[in-house]
Structure 1
Amino acid sequence: MGIKNRLIFMNFLQFFVWGSWLISIGAYLGGTLHFTGTQIGAVFSTLGIASLFMPAVLGIVADKWINAERVLGMSHLIGAGLLFVASTIKDPVIFFWVMLLNSMFYMPTIALNSTVSYVTLEKNGYNIVKAFPPIRVWGTVGFIAAMWIVDLFGWKSSNMQLIFSGFSALVLGIYAFTMPSCPPEKSKQDKSLISSLGLDAFVLFKQRKMAVFFFFSMFLGAALQITNAFGGSFLDSFKTTHPDTFGVQHPLLLLSISQISETLFILTIPFFLNRFGIKKVMIISIFAWVMRFGLFAIGDPGGGLYLLIMSMIVYGMAFDFFNISGSLFVENEVSPGIRASAQGLFMLMTNGVGAMIGGYGSGLIVDLFTTDGIRDWNTIWLVFAAYALVLGLIFPFAFKYKYQAKNEAIS
């Protein structure tokens, strides 16, 4: 097998492991184990908690002491064991702690997977900028494939999704040890935890535009967790009113349109950034979130299926125009000396603090509008849409940034 194909398989499995449970576990926890909204939100907040520090910690381990491919392999093997344990747990408190441990070992592997890919491509004489994106896209394919398998095998409301994910992680953990050696680089020996966490980029908060940007990034990061946590539970709630519809029979197939849309909207980012600049692109993203939640509020798997499909499609714009475009904005705005730290800070605010707020906050809202176990999804989604709308109304006035094409052109 050629080195590109080996990397494709590794990237495919990296996100296959995650896609096996991330979108479907909400329905399992709420519908089968009867967790409350707050308890489900707490499980999703583990992704944010782990992202606050573990990628930096294991990144330093890979930079200084142990080959990156070995850290990647060990992390997935430990994660596999924790997923097997999680599949046997029904207590919400114990489940939270096991999934927190799992997140602490899974979240760092996203960056480690990229590191192994970069080093391997570079050693084999490839241009990373050109060679990696076509490889990375197979990660999204893996995520979607896992969702489809879980759905078609009927595991979306059972612990089999965790067992399946555990076996996938086990395979990837073993496979990672067979990848080409990616030893620590001497030039990175002095990289500190402070730098890895992005904390030395906190100087950017002295600039008003960057402070506002990071502040809104945090709250948009929270929006991402809402549908991850409760999209499956929402569709599952139509079992009594629309039992034979496609959206109820195959909710993960329907939700996977979001990931497909995500891969397509990535291709439009250069055009939109060059044409409109980051401020307008961010505004588009925020109002796309309003549409995402609003369409959920008025849609259903029956006559309103087209509204749900529209919500899935608009998700790609909501996610990419904030997450990918935001990263590019940071890359262009900061000095070369702190670019890596600034990207770490961006990830800290979105996938760390933002994910924590989104996990806990969405759980509280869901519980607030739950009576005798019945969730008022229409009101819940309208509250989330209002949340995004408030951000959209404030952002244009708070973010003072004049677009100059010569400074922000993305090719």
Structure 2
Amino acid sequence: MESGTGDTRLFVQLVVMMLLEFAVFGSWFATVSLVLATHGLPTIIGTAFSLAALAAIVSPMVFGAIGDRFMASQKALGLAHLLGGVTMLFLPFAVRSGAGGLVLALVFVYMLFFQPTLGLTNAIAFRHLGANQRRFPYVRVFGTVGWVIAGQLVGWMGLSASTNLFYVTAAFSFLLGLFSFTLPATPPPAKGVRFSWGDLVGAKAFRLLRRRNYAVLMVCALLVAVSLGVYNTYASTYLGALGFTNVAGLMSVGQASEVAFIVTIPFVLRRVGMKWALFAGMCMWAVRCVLLIEAAGHGSWLAVGAIAVQGVCQDFFLVLGAMYVGEVAPVELAVQAQSMLILMVSGFGQFIGATISGQIYDATVGAHQNGPLSDWTAVWVFPVFSAVIAAVVWGVFSRHHRTPQNAPAEA
């Protein structure tokens, strides 16, 4: 990075990019299940989130390869958001008309465009921060701020359960799409490199599974992501059933807690270490779902508590998980090792969570129109067990030792 004015300008550009990226995501993803349930499409909620997770698995093959080899990253980011914005414009009509199949197709297509942008924004930021990599958390935290702003805006406008929600997302998408073309030039990092299908799915990182700690982390990440998938799929619908109206604004409290808890990570690591900090994050996912179960019979305020602990659930799972992978993965496999973690969490884990919880929902809550809140217990018990198993596996089988970054993969 250049010093002085250029340094400041670049930092501001990266901050705005990250803020808009998660404003796009947070403006619709947090309450889309409530929108579907309100407009007579509750039975496709699980499938919609399963398709979103599936897009996280296949999208690198659809769009990621283009950004890696044939198009500058900032242009790929802009194009993806412009196409995503156009796709969003068709969703209000599809939902209002009750065309479930069309809604699912549009959600899948949109997520094919959106999922690669999460990696593109990180890549652009790291590329231009250069030697100032330690500034990245200060850039990334504005992504959480963007999610909070979008959630509060949607809630204030009264759109938590409205199809007009998608127009807000489209507006944010077009804004970021156009802004992306003003970002510093970021040439394709793999231009001219021989194409490999294995690189797209991080095949070289599979050798890391020979390492006990990495393999255990991947198993636990998959199990915890199942709980995450259930929460993302049905939290907003459940809050609506509990009687909350400003669901989008309420759920943004969770992102606000992420900002608060992320600053505690260095202190926690010094006091308890990486292993037990990750263990706490896994356990908190079980606690969160228990609070949601208890909210049905002992006061909806417990649901607010479940949302407020998101900082521990996310920061002490996703952020620490990425840091842990950075410790155990050698430099030459660092990118693919992180990609595998994302694949386990945003792809397979959330796909399993959304799919199974969708089946449970259809057999319980969805089968009884205006049924008792106790019907929701079956939906939330499933992720409790998934998180508990993850915590037990991690506590028993992980043997945390710091690994030099340049250690050979076949240690």
Q: What TM-score do the two structures reach when normalised by structure 1?
A: 0.88
**Contact kept in structure 2, 1:218 and 1:354, CA below 8 Å:** yes
The Cα of 1:217 is off from its aligned counterpart by 0.9
Of 319, 330, 333, the match for 1:324: 319
Distance change >3 Å, CA 56–CA 133, structure 1 → 2: farther
In the alignment, the residues of structure 2 paired with residue 332 and residue 83 of structure 1 have an alpha-carbon distance, to the nearest angstrom, of 39
Q: 1:166 is matched by which residue type in structure 2? A: A
| Aligned residue number for residue 177 of structure 1 | 181
Which residue of structure 1 aligns with residue 196 of structure 2?
192
- Aligned residue for 1:299, secondary structure, equals helix
> How far apart are the structure 1 equivalents of 2:334 and 2:393?
28
Q: How far apart are the structure 2 equivalents of 1:130 and 1:387?
A: 34
Question: How much does 1:179 deviate?
Answer: 1.9
Instruction: Give the percent of matched residue pairs that are identical in Structure 1 and Structure 2.
Output: 27
Give the distance between the partners of 2:198 and 2:143, measured in 1 at CA: 29
Q: Deviations over 1:357-384 (max 9, x none)?
A: 1111121122232232236123432343
Tell me the secondary structure at the aligned position of residue 249 of structure 1: coil
Tell me if the contact between 2:216 and 2:393 (Cα under 8 Å) persists in the aligned partners.
no
Summarize the alignment of residues 9-408 of structure 1 with structure 2, pairs less than 5 Å apart: 9-36=16-43, 39-55=44-60, 58-89=63-94, 90-122=98-130, 127-185=131-189, 189-190=193-194, 192-239=196-243, 248-299=244-295, 304-370=299-365, 371-373=367-369, 374=371, 376-397=375-396, 399-401=397-399, 403-404=400-401
Report the CA distance between 1:117 and its aligned residue: 2.5
65-74 vs 191-200, which moves further? 191-200
| Counterpart residue number, 1:244 | none
Q: Please, what is the CA RMSD of the aligned residues?
A: 2.3
User: Which amino acid counterpart does residue 14 of structure 1 have in structure 2?
Assistant: E
Counterpart-to-counterpart distance in 2, 1:229 and 1:352: 14
Cα distance 1:317–1:19, how it changes in 2: closer, same or farther (>3 A)? Answer: same
The verdict on how the C-alpha distance between 1:179 and 1:404 changes in structure 2, with shifts beyond 3 A counting, is closer
Once the two structures are superposed, what CA deviation does each residue of 1:206-242 show, in whole Å capped at 9, x if it has no partner?
Answer: 2333222211211111211222211111111133xxx
> Counterpart of 1:50 in 2: which secondary structure?
helix
CA drift of 1:194 comes to 1.5
Query: Which amino acid letter does the alignment assign opposite residue 39 of structure 2?
Result: T
Distance in 2 between residues matched to 1:281 and 1:119, nearest whole Å: 29
Provide the C-alpha distance between the structure 2 equivalents of 1:406 and 1:353, rounded to a whole number of angstroms. Answer: 27
Q: 1:155/1:202 Cα in 2 relative to 1: closer, same or farther (>3 Å)? A: same
Matched residue type, 1:390: I
Bigger mean CA deviation after superposition, 200-209 or 341-350 = 200-209
Equivalent-residue separation in structure 2 for 1:213 and 1:238 (angstroms): 35
Flag structure 1 segments of 5+ consecutive residues without an equivalent: 240-247
Q: Aligned partners of 1:228, 1:306: CA distance in 2, in Å?
A: 19
Change (3 A) 1:199 1:389: same
Aligned to 1:243: none
1:405, distance to aligned residue in structure 2 (A): 6.5
Give SS of 1:87's match: helix
Q: Using the alignment, how far apart are the partners of 1:358 and 1:45 within structure 2?
A: 8
User: Displacement of 1:349 after TM fit?
Assistant: 1.1
Residue-by-residue CA offset, 1:285-311 (whole Å, 9 max, x unaligned): 1210111001111126x9734422321
Normalised by the length of structure 2, the TM-score is 0.88
Residue 2 of structure 1: which of 2, 9, 20 is its match? 9
Aligned letter for 1:276?
V
Partners of 1:211 and 1:135 in 2: CA distance: 30
Instruction: Count residues in correspondence.
Output: 391
Describe the superposition over 1:110-153 as per-residue Cα deviations: whole angstroms up to 9, x where unpaired: 1111222333444xxxx432333222211111111111111111
The 3-state SS of whatever aligns with 2:187 is coil
Whether contact under 8 Å (1:262, 1:316) holds in the other structure is yes
Could you give the per-residue CA deviations for residues 177-227 of structure 1, whole angstroms, max 9, x where no partner exists? Answer: 122221224677246342242111111222333222211211111211222
C-alpha separation between the residues in 2 aligned to 1:188 and 1:290?
A: 47
Residues 117 and 158 of structure 1: CA distance in aligned 2, closer, same or farther (over 3 Å): same
Contact 1:60–1:193, Cα closer than 8 Å, also in 2:
no
